[in-house]
Structure 1
Amino acid sequence: MNAILALGLATLIIPAHAADLDAPFVELPEIGATSGWYLRGDVGYSRPQEAKGEWDFWNQFAGVQGIDDTYRFDSLKLRGSASVSIGVGYQFNEQLRSDVTLDFFHSKFAGKTECPLMIKSDAAHSLPFPSDCHYNDGSTASVWTAMANTYVDLMPLDGFRPYLGAGVGAAYVKYGTMYAQEVCPRCSATYTRYTGQQEGVGSVRPALALMVGTTYDLSDRLKLDAGYRFLHVFGGDAFEYDSADQANGASGIQIRDQGFNVHQIRTGLRYALN
């Protein structure tokens, strides 16, 4: 009985296998190249978050000239502004690509600082003025970032391909001239409120970025790219001493920021060169 079953199975399997051998060869479609160089350009909107800083008080009195104390810079606000970016990259395969980018945005800056001498009444300062005194500061900041980025392209969905990315690089932050106006509502009418200006400086700082977005194929070479980038710029030098302090021996940097975060919404195009 077992022999009969084995013979029956053989008669079914062998013809079927022979039919497979005799079937015509079907050529699979050629898969296009997924690697190669590309160019990119983006425009967007940058919204920096409020940051903090610190500044040195220069004692002008003869015999004790020098840095007396370091105070907190209470509020450093860069306003939202347009941003532009260009770059060149390489697509290694369907999932992995890298690029280097150069980005720029220019923003107005508003700051607020407490008047340190107005909130101290010890023997060293002996100026017991009202505590609601502060300086309103205004300036500008130009921010350049040069970043090396790597992206992971995820599975496509209805023509869109999401991605995640991260970048590391450097930022060059250049502040313009800062104008300060002392505000002291409860000071006497005879008190002379401070008005001055300080020259901004430029400094190179480290920068980190995280990206998320999606692409859409407009053609076999051209892709539409839309996404969000979180950028962290580390702290650095910001402003020199004013002319009055410099006339009394001060030099170098008085104000430093402690870094700031930037939220960016960007859209642009990527063009494959291969």
Structure 2
Amino acid sequence: MNRLAVALLASAFLSPMAAKAADIIEPIPVVDAPADYSGWYIRADAGYAFSSETSGSYRYFDAHSGLYGDDFRYSSIEFKDGYSVGGGVGYRWADHFRTDLTADYYNFKVKGSSDCAYSFGYSGCRFNDSSKADLWTVMANAYVDLGYFGAVTPYIGAGVGFANVSYGEMRNEVCAPNCGDANNYVGIHEGLDSWRFAASLMAGASIDLTHSLALDVGYRYTRVSEGEAFAFDAGDRAAGATGVQGRDNGFNLHAIRAGLRYSFY
């Protein structure tokens, strides 16, 4: 049997099998956006923010000389798991492109520690700090919808804006060497607030619940730049210290969010 005959027989035998396989494994169809898929929308979101660790610095004040010491680095500042809520208003400019302006609130507990040998001149000494932080972000965001897979629309996005970080009072315990000792010195530092630059990256998917209402589920990463954290405690202020004692070096927010988006057609 020549090669041509073998090829024809193989083709006749395999074609029905290939057709059946194609019927079994079908790609998810990409559909066109609705004709009226543009215009204004509003959104409301809630989320869970994971713990994030950063570093910081503080100035030392010498009450005897009235001089300030150099900045010293914290070993760590940890923003414990927190929550976020927010909302915004946006506009869809094209089938696959939309923008919005959002405001979001985050709440965290803050833990910090650092070596205080610089301040007190002996080893085995460390600071044990605790506080809380309220954070507001105001962001201008842009999104690209990657396709309409039935009721599901995956997207990616990015945003830029500002963050207001407001620290509560910081309890500063000098552990020498053990924390929790009733004889340890405890200072209370006023928390400071500051506006900083912030930028975000987003990814997720929206699910159409009705023609106008969609469930939005996604991940948001936000980088908040450095800023002021705490003032000097009462003892240092009484000795003449002024201004900012502690700063953070900026931090990252990682949040899983879910919300509703209502479009006006």
- TM-score, structure 2 normalization: 0.83
- Cα distance, 1:247–1:118 mapped onto 2, change above 3 Å: closer
CA contact (8 A) 2:230 2:245 kept: yes
1:265 counterpart residue number: 256
Give the C-alpha shift of residue 260 in structure 1.
0.3
**Is residue 154 of structure 1 aligned with residue 146 of structure 2?**
yes
1:55 counterpart residue number: 58
Q: How does 1:180-259 map to 2 (within 5 A)?
A: 180-185=172-177, 193-259=184-250
Give the C-alpha shift of residue 158 in structure 1.
4.3
2:22 counterpart residue number: none
| Identity, % of aligned positions | 41
CA contact (8 A) 1:48 1:261 kept: no
Tell me how far apart the structure 2 counterparts of residues 242 and 200 of structure 1 sit (CA, whole Å). 10
Q: How does 1:27-176 map to 2 (within 5 A)?
A: 32-61=35-64, 64-117=65-118, 127=121, 129=122, 131-176=123-168
Amino acid at match of 1:179: R
Give the C-alpha shift of residue 105 in structure 1.
1.2
Tell me how far apart the structure 2 counterparts of residues 272 and 117 of structure 1 sit (CA, whole Å). 58
CA contact (8 A) 1:178 1:197 kept: yes
- Structure 2: where are the runs of 5+ without partners? 1-33
Tell me how far apart the structure 1 counterparts of residues 68 and 119 of structure 2 sit (CA, whole Å). 17
CA contact (8 A) 1:95 1:153 kept: yes
Give the C-alpha shift of residue 118 in structure 1.
6.4
Amino acid at match of 1:115: C
CA contact (8 A) 2:126 2:177 kept: no
SS at match of 2:74: strand
Give the C-alpha shift of residue 156 in structure 1.
2.1
Q: Deviations over 1:5-64 (max 9, x none)?
A: xxxxxxxxxxxxxxxxxxxxxxxxxx6312100000011101241010000001111xx2
Tell me how far apart the structure 2 counterparts of residues 134 and 185 of structure 1 sit (CA, whole Å). 7
- Structure 1: where are the runs of 5+ without partners? 1-30, 120-126
CA contact (8 A) 1:224 1:269 kept: yes
